[in-house]
Amino acid sequence: MPHKTYLAIDLGASSGRHIAGRLQGDQLSLQVLHRFENGPVTVHGHMHWDVLGIWREILNGLRVARTEATGEITSIGVDTWGVDFGLIGPGDELLGNPYNYRDSRTVGMIEQAAKIVPKAEIFAETGLQFMELNTLYQLLSMKLTAAPMLDAAESMLMMPDLFHWMLCGNRANERTEASTSQLFNPQTGRWSTKLIEAFGLPEKIFGPIVEPGTRLGRLLPEVASETGLTDVEVVLPGTHDTASAVLAVPATAAPSAQPDWCYISSGTWSLMGVEVPEPVVTERCSALNFTNEGGVGGTTRLLKNIPGLWLVQECRRIWNQQGHTYNWEGLARAAAEATPLLAVIDPEDPRLVAPDNMPATIAELCRESGQRVPETDGAIIRCALESLAMKYRQTLTSLEELTGGRIETIHIVGGGSQHELLCQMAADACQRPVVAGPVEATAIGNLLMQAVSAGDFSSIAEARQVVVASFDVKRYEPTTQWSV
């Protein structure tokens, strides 16, 4: 196999990175070229993404790639979080700054939507769990407030689609990202015209759905000139970051209706689920508030979106503002030294979505439930981590119910796979072995999908073998059994 170098632009809710991947036989080596911070910006009480600031950093990273990447870059792909979007108007004009999914404009929108289309019908059409941050409720809030941008828009581009458009000028909606919108039908693989019409949304803004691996076009001349990258194609990975991360799970079993492994893509969110051949759109799936999202290779990711290390990130942010500076290692040590299983809260409590003071909110939830209130910073972090582990146990039980089989192994990928205390807690709470790694799973999956598109691999399964051969993982066995 010839040596080829691909570039993944992996954008998370709190940071972004450019990672080059070089294929040498059955080995993939990574080169981190550029990292930058990301996050919402509040203007007049509304939370937005600094999309032009992100674009500036994308260009900065492409310049670095031109001079520092090992080998010549042949293609580029972008992955991001789900649900958020930008609107494009006449003359290729970006209409405003895209909203952040934590913005308050969607509060109460699930109830408003249910007045128009019953929740059971929405789930039957989309197979998606109900969260106020979903694209459907963002668009419905614009519709109900007569937002002029919605009337002026020609296209809705989900966030990775938006950046691909900036890179090459072509508009398309990649399937895995579109599947997070609650306006996508996983059984037809197309936008749900039934819901689009029922909610009175402009049908013209919903463009063609394309698959991961689609070659979208070459970099625009002005982008090539500004970055020095010439003759480089834009190739769509699984543009939803979890779709890319699941591709990088070091598992060899093919997708099955009764899978024996599950994944947790662990970062700001914990996305816990299984890879199945077909969507599971049943009343029980709806009752458990699970979701069916698109995966690479035509698969479905049956999963639950769980607030993840967001709880810890927000605690750290508040304490740093108060002058109590912590690094991640310090927080982990403090949590390890705290009393085990002092209190457990529900990470999905709506008050944890965007609280003014996360530590105070966690303490209040413990107080309300009659549990002992964590009094130290370490105890608060331990409460957050143990609560996540208990949610993993609950989710594992539900996954086994929905698939009708026993899940033997939990794979934790992404940044959270480095959190040794959380990985051990997950093993103990679930009474299953946990395989942790690789850390840069999202970027790896992005790179491998580009390689599949280029013909370097004949299948997703073959590409996944490279993950097994190229990256070390750490195994955690259950050591104690939690009685809660």
Question: CA-to-CA distance for 62 and 234, rounded, in angstroms?
Answer: 13
CA distance 229 to 325: 41
d(CA 125, CA 199): 13
Give the span between the Cα atoms of 294 and 445, in whole angstroms: 14
How far apart CA 204 and CA 187 sit, in angstroms, is 22
Check if 103 is active-site: no
Cβ count near 226 (within 10 Å): 13
* Cα distance between residue 220 and residue 112, in whole Å: 42
Helix, coil or strand: residue 124: helix
Picking from 209, 124, 220, the residue whose alpha carbon sits closest to that of residue 170 is 220
Query: What is the rounded CA–CA span in Å between residue 364 and residue 360?
Result: 6
Q: Which structure tokens are listed for 417?
A: 């796979």
Catalytic residue, candidates 241, 349, 356, 377: 241
Helix (H) or strand (E) holding 300: strand 300-307
What is the rounded distance in angstroms from the CA atom of residue 388 to the CA atom of residue 382? 10
Residues that are catalytic: 241
